[in-house]
Structure 1
Amino acid sequence: MPQLSPLNWIFLFLLFWAAVFMVSVLIWWSTKIYFSTKASAVVDAKENKWNW
Protein backbone atom coordinates (compact mmCIF):
# COMPACT_ATOMS: atom_id res chain seq x y z
CA MET A 1 0.00 0.00 0.00
CA PRO A 2 1.46 3.36 -0.92
CA GLN A 3 2.24 5.94 1.70
CA LEU A 4 -0.55 8.45 2.14
CA SER A 5 -0.48 11.83 3.75
CA PRO A 6 -2.48 12.28 6.96
CA LEU A 7 -4.99 14.46 5.11
CA ASN A 8 -5.62 11.65 2.63
CA TRP A 9 -6.19 9.21 5.50
CA ILE A 10 -8.78 11.61 6.92
CA PHE A 11 -10.47 11.84 3.52
CA LEU A 12 -10.52 8.05 3.21
CA PHE A 13 -11.95 7.74 6.72
CA LEU A 14 -14.70 10.24 5.94
CA LEU A 15 -15.43 8.64 2.58
CA PHE A 16 -15.78 5.21 4.19
CA TRP A 17 -18.24 6.41 6.84
CA ALA A 18 -20.17 8.48 4.30
CA ALA A 19 -20.59 5.34 2.19
CA VAL A 20 -21.70 3.32 5.24
CA PHE A 21 -24.17 6.05 6.16
CA MET A 22 -25.57 6.30 2.62
CA VAL A 23 -26.04 2.53 2.32
CA SER A 24 -27.82 2.41 5.68
CA VAL A 25 -30.08 5.30 4.64
CA LEU A 26 -30.90 3.56 1.36
CA ILE A 27 -31.74 0.33 3.18
CA TRP A 28 -33.88 2.23 5.69
CA TRP A 29 -35.63 4.17 2.93
CA SER A 30 -36.41 1.08 0.87
CA THR A 31 -37.87 -0.77 3.86
CA LYS A 32 -39.84 2.35 4.87
CA ILE A 33 -41.34 2.71 1.39
CA TYR A 34 -42.12 -1.02 1.29
CA PHE A 35 -43.95 -1.05 4.59
CA SER A 36 -45.76 2.24 3.98
CA THR A 37 -47.19 0.96 0.69
CA LYS A 38 -48.30 -2.24 2.40
CA ALA A 39 -49.83 -0.26 5.29
CA SER A 40 -51.54 2.20 2.93
CA ALA A 41 -53.24 -0.68 1.11
CA VAL A 42 -54.68 -1.82 4.43
CA VAL A 43 -55.79 1.71 5.31
CA ASP A 44 -57.46 2.15 1.89
CA ALA A 45 -59.45 -1.03 2.44
CA LYS A 46 -61.05 0.41 5.58
CA GLU A 47 -64.01 2.75 5.43
CA ASN A 48 -63.10 6.44 5.45
CA LYS A 49 -64.34 7.94 8.72
CA TRP A 50 -63.38 11.54 7.84
CA ASN A 51 -65.93 13.83 6.24
CA TRP A 52 -63.40 15.46 3.92
Structure 2
Amino acid sequence: MPQLSPLNWIFLFLLFWVAILVMSVLIWWSKKIYFSTSTSKVSSVKENKWNW
Protein backbone atom coordinates (compact mmCIF):
# COMPACT_ATOMS: atom_id res chain seq x y z
CA MET A 1 0.00 0.00 0.00
CA PRO A 2 1.27 3.51 -0.74
CA GLN A 3 2.21 5.82 2.07
CA LEU A 4 -0.67 8.29 2.11
CA SER A 5 -1.48 10.89 4.69
CA PRO A 6 -4.58 10.29 6.84
CA LEU A 7 -6.34 13.17 5.11
CA ASN A 8 -5.86 11.48 1.74
CA TRP A 9 -7.25 8.20 3.12
CA ILE A 10 -10.34 10.12 4.27
CA PHE A 11 -10.70 11.67 0.82
CA LEU A 12 -10.37 8.27 -0.84
CA PHE A 13 -12.95 6.81 1.53
CA LEU A 14 -15.39 9.63 0.79
CA LEU A 15 -14.76 9.42 -2.95
CA PHE A 16 -15.48 5.68 -2.90
CA TRP A 17 -18.83 6.07 -1.13
CA VAL A 18 -19.85 9.09 -3.20
CA ALA A 19 -19.18 7.08 -6.37
CA ILE A 20 -21.31 4.20 -5.05
CA LEU A 21 -24.09 6.61 -4.10
CA VAL A 22 -24.03 8.31 -7.50
CA MET A 23 -24.12 4.99 -9.34
CA SER A 24 -27.04 3.69 -7.28
CA VAL A 25 -28.97 6.94 -7.82
CA LEU A 26 -28.34 6.70 -11.58
CA ILE A 27 -29.50 3.08 -11.65
CA TRP A 28 -32.59 3.96 -9.61
CA TRP A 29 -33.36 6.94 -11.88
CA SER A 30 -33.04 4.89 -15.06
CA LYS A 31 -35.28 2.13 -13.67
CA LYS A 32 -37.85 4.72 -12.55
CA ILE A 33 -37.97 6.39 -15.96
CA TYR A 34 -38.08 3.00 -17.72
CA PHE A 35 -40.98 1.65 -15.68
CA SER A 36 -42.98 4.87 -15.82
CA THR A 37 -42.72 5.05 -19.61
CA SER A 38 -43.36 1.37 -20.19
CA THR A 39 -46.62 1.29 -18.21
CA SER A 40 -48.28 4.24 -19.94
CA LYS A 41 -46.53 5.09 -23.18
CA VAL A 42 -49.31 7.10 -24.80
CA SER A 43 -50.18 9.31 -21.83
CA SER A 44 -46.55 9.93 -20.83
CA VAL A 45 -45.66 11.11 -24.34
CA LYS A 46 -48.54 13.60 -24.28
CA GLU A 47 -47.69 14.86 -20.79
CA ASN A 48 -43.90 14.92 -21.21
CA LYS A 49 -42.95 17.19 -24.10
CA TRP A 50 -39.19 16.63 -23.49
CA ASN A 51 -39.33 12.92 -24.52
CA TRP A 52 -36.89 11.65 -21.93
Provide structure 2 residue ranges, at least 5 long, that are not aligned to the other structure: 44-52
1:24 Cα deviation after fit: 0.3
Dislocated runs of 4+, deviation >3 Å: none
Q: Which has the larger radius of gyration?
A: 1
What is the TM-score with the length of structure 2 in the denominator? 0.74
What is the TM-score with the length of structure 1 in the denominator? 0.74
CA RMSD of aligned residues (A): 1.3
Q: How many residues align?
A: 43
Provide structure 1 residue ranges, at least 5 long, that are not aligned to the other structure: 45-52
Query: Percent sequence identity over matched residues?
Result: 77
Task: Using CA pairs under 8 Å that are at least 6 residues apart, name the structure with larger relative contact order, 1 or 2.
Answer: 2
